[in-house]
Chains A and B, each alone.
Chain A
Amino acid sequence: MMEHLPALIIAIPLLGAFAAPLFKRHHKAVSIWAILITGITLIVSLLLTREVLVKGILVYVFGAKSPTLVLPSGYKVPIRIMFEVDALGAFMAISATLMSFVGALYSYSHVAHESGLEKYYSLLLLLEVGILGMVLTGDLFNLFVFMEIAGISGAALVGFRSYRGEASEAGIKYLIISAVASLMVLFSVALLYGEYGNLNLAYIAKNIKFGVVDLIAFGLLFTSFAMKCGAVPMHYWVPDAYTEIPAGGNPPLLVATYANLYALFRVSFTLFTNIVINISRAGWIMVILGVLTMFIGVTMALVQKDVKRLMSYHAISQTGYMLLGVGVGLTVLHDPSKLMEFGRDAIAGGLFHVINHIIYKSLLLMTAGALFYVTGTRNLDNMGGLARKMPITTISFMIGAAAISGLPPFNGFASKLIIYETSYMLNPILTVFAMVTSILTLASFVKVFASAFLGPPLKKYENVKEVPKPMLIAMIILAALCVIFGLFPKIILDKLIYPAADALINYLQYHSWGGLA
C-alpha cells in the first residue's frame, strides 16, 4: 500500500475526474464528490511526503518491481515509465493537493448557479492530475504529457464561462502560449533523446556531456518554462487568465503556474548543473529576470481598476521574488563556501515564497471572487462600504494583503526577509528593488481596501449578505495558514523547505538509485 502512493496520488484524482460526468444534473452531488476526491488526495500527498522525508528519494516504476531491472538482452538503460519523488516534488505535491481541495470547497457555492458543473469539476480534477504528474515524474516525455494535460484543462477552465466573450479570449491566449511552450519542450526532449537515446531524467543527468545540442536544449527548456510561469516578457497571459477563471479555479491554476517554475528549477539544477561549469551565468539570467518581473508586475498593478486584474499583476510580481531567491542560489551553486553562507538559504527562501505566495494569493483572489459574488462587478470604482456587510471576508482580505506586502507576523514577511538578506549578500541593488516592490505592493492593496471595504455604504448594496459558508471556510483555512506559517516559520522551514532546497542542491542524489550505466 505505502509503496504505491506515487501511483495512487495520480490515479485517485484521475478516477474522480472521469467519474464526475456521471453526476450530471446532480449539482450538489458532483461538488461533494470533488471535495471528497481532493480531500483523499490531500491525505495521500501528506502520507507521501512523510515517506519521502523519512526514507529519502522514492523511485516508483510502472510495470516492474525495481528501477534497475534491465532487458533480457542485457541492454542496460531504464526503459519503463518512472516516478521519482524527492523532497521538492513532495513539497509541490502538498501545495497542489491542498489548493485543489480549497478550490473545490470554495467552488461548492461560488459556481453553484452556473450550468455544466460536472464538466467544471472534471476539469478541476484533471488540472490537479496534470500538476501532480509534472512535479512527481522522473521522465522527460511524461513531463511534456502532464504539462499538456495541465495546460488544456487549465485553458478550458479559464474559458468556462463561455457566455462571456472575454473568457474565450483569455482562454485562447493561455492555450496558445501553453501549446507553443510545450511544443518547444517536446522539441528539446527530442534533441536530448536523439543524443542520449533515453528519456529518463536521472539517466540523462548522469550521462550528460557539455555540447552545443545540450545548450540549445537547455535554452529552449528554460525559455518555455519561464514563459509558462509568467515571467516578463511573456507575462501578458497571466492577468487575463487569472481574471476570467471562476475564483474557485484560481488556487489550482496558480499551482499549475508554479509547477512550471518547478520544472524550470528541475532542469536548471538536476539536469544541467553537472555540465554547465558556468551555471552562475544561468543563475544571473534568472536573477535579472526575477527583478524585472517583480518590478514590471507591480508597476502595472498600480494602475488597475479591476480588482482581480490588479491581484493578477501582483501574482506576476511575486513570481519575481521566487526567481530572485532561487537564482541567487544558482549563481553560487559551484562555490561551496558561498553556498553554505547564503546560497542554501536563498534557495530555501525562494521555495518558501512559492508556498506562501500560493496561500495568500489564493486567499486574495478568493476574496475578490467573494466581492464579485455579492456585487456582480469587479470594478473597484463601483464598490464601497462592504466591510460592515462582510466582516469575515474583510478580515481575510486584510490578512492576505498584509501577508503579500510582507508585514510581520504573516507568512509573506518570513520568506521575503530571507530573500532580502540573501540577495543582499550577492548584490545590494537586488535588495533595493525587492523592497521597493514590496512597498508599492502595500500601496496598491491599501487602495483596494479603501475603495472596496471602507467608505460610506452604497445604496445598491443595502441588502448584500456575507458569502455562503463553504466559501467562508475555504477562506478561513487559508487565512489561518497565513498566520501559522508566519508565526512558526522555523518549523515549516526545517520540516519541509530545507529538505526541498537540499534536494535541489545535492543534484547528484537524484540519480543515486543507479540510473543504469
Chain B
Amino acid sequence: MNSVLVNLPFIVVAILLAIGFYTIGFKRNLIKIIIGVEILEGAVNMFIVALGYVKGGYAPIYTQAPSGAIENMVLPTPQALTLTSIVIGVAVTALMLAFAVNIYKTYGTLDVSKVRRLRG
C-alpha cells in the first residue's frame, strides 16, 4: 500500500499518458485531438515536477527560510524546466487552434476523416 502511495504521482502520469495517446489516436474531432496533445503535455510536466520533489527538502527560496533550511534545499531545475515547457505548450496550442479555426472555415467540418484533401 505504501509503495502505491509513494508512487502515486507516477501512476497518475502513466494514466494521463495513456489517455493522451488514446485521444490522439482514436478521436476524430480535431479539437479533441488538440486536447489529447494538451493532456500529454500535462502528463510530462507533472512527471518532471514529481521528479523534483525530495522528501524533507526545502523550496530554494532564501527569504524567510526557516533555520537549517539553507543546508537542505532542492535544486530548482525541474521547476524551471516545467515553466519553460508550459510556455512552449501554450504557443503550440495556440497555433494548433488557429489551424483548426482555419480548417473549419474552409472545409466546414472538424472531422479528421473528412479533412483529407491531401492524399496519395
> Which A residues are closer than 8 A to B by beta carbons?
141, 144-145, 148, 151-152, 155-156, 159, 162, 164-166, 168-172, 175-176, 179-180, 183, 186-187, 190, 193-194, 197, 199, 239-240, 243-244, 303-306, 309
A172, B100: Cβ atoms under 8 Å?
A: yes
Query: Chain A residues near B40 (CB, 8 Å)?
Result: 180, 183
A155 to B93, CA, bound (A): 12
Q: Of B47, B75, B91, B117, which is within 8 A of A187 by CB?
A: B47
Tell me the minimal C-beta distance from A59 to chain B in angstroms: 20
List 7 A–B pairs whose Cβ atoms lie within 8 Å, in order of A's numbering: A152-B92, A168-B99, A175-B96, A179-B96, A183-B37, A186-B44, A199-B77
8 A Cβ contacts from B64-120 to A = 75, 77-78, 81, 84-85, 88, 91-92, 95-96, 99-100, 102-103, 105-107, 115-118, 120
> CA–CA, A169 to B99, complex, Å?
7
Are A240 and B118 touching (Cβ within 8 A)?
yes
CA gap between A141 and B44 in the complex, in Å: 13
**What residues on A are CB-neighbors of B106 within 8 Å?**
164-165, 168
Closest to A187 in B: B44
| Residue pair A175, B103 in contact (C-beta under 8 Å) | no
Give the docked Cα–Cα distance between A180 and B116 (Å): 21
Total A-B pairs, Cβ < 8 A: 93
User: How far is B92's CA from A197's CA once the two chains are assembled, in angstroms?
Assistant: 28
Min distance, Cβ B65 to any Cβ of chain A, angstroms? 16
The 7 tightest CB contacts between A and B, nearest first, are: A165-B106, A172-B99, A168-B102, A194-B51, A168-B99, A240-B118, A148-B88
A305 to B47, CA, bound (A): 46
Other 12 A-B pairs with CB < 8 A, given A193-B51, A197-B75: A155-B99, A156-B95, A165-B102, A165-B105, A165-B106, A171-B99, A172-B99, A179-B37, A179-B92, A193-B78, A304-B120, A305-B120
- Residues on the B chain within 8 Å of A240, using CB: 118
Which residues of B, 19-72, contact A by the 8 Å Cβ criterion? 24, 30, 33, 37, 40-41, 44, 47-48, 51
Q: Closest CB-CB distance, A217 to chain B, in whole Å?
A: 13
Q: Which residues of A contact B48 (CB under 8 A)?
A: 186, 190, 193
Q: How far is the CA of A144 from the CA of B85 in the complex (A)?
A: 9
Enumerate chain A residues within 8 angstroms of B107, measured Cβ to Cβ. Answer: 165, 169
Nearest neighbor of B105 in chain A, beta-carbon distance:
A165
List the A side residues contacting B84 at CB < 8 Å.
141, 145
B51 x A145 contact (CB < 8 A): no
Q: Closest CB-CB distance, A406 to chain B, in whole Å? A: 26
- Residue among A162, A172, A175 with most chain B CB within 10 A: A172
- Decide if A176 touches B44 in the complex (CB within 8 Å): no
Complex contacts, A144 vs chain B, CB 8 Å = 85
Instruction: Find out whether the CB atom of A172 lies under 8 angstroms from the CB atom of B37.
Output: no
Q: How far is the CB of B102 from chain A (nearest CB, A)?
A: 4
* B92 surroundings in chain A (CB, below 8 A): 148, 151-152, 175, 179
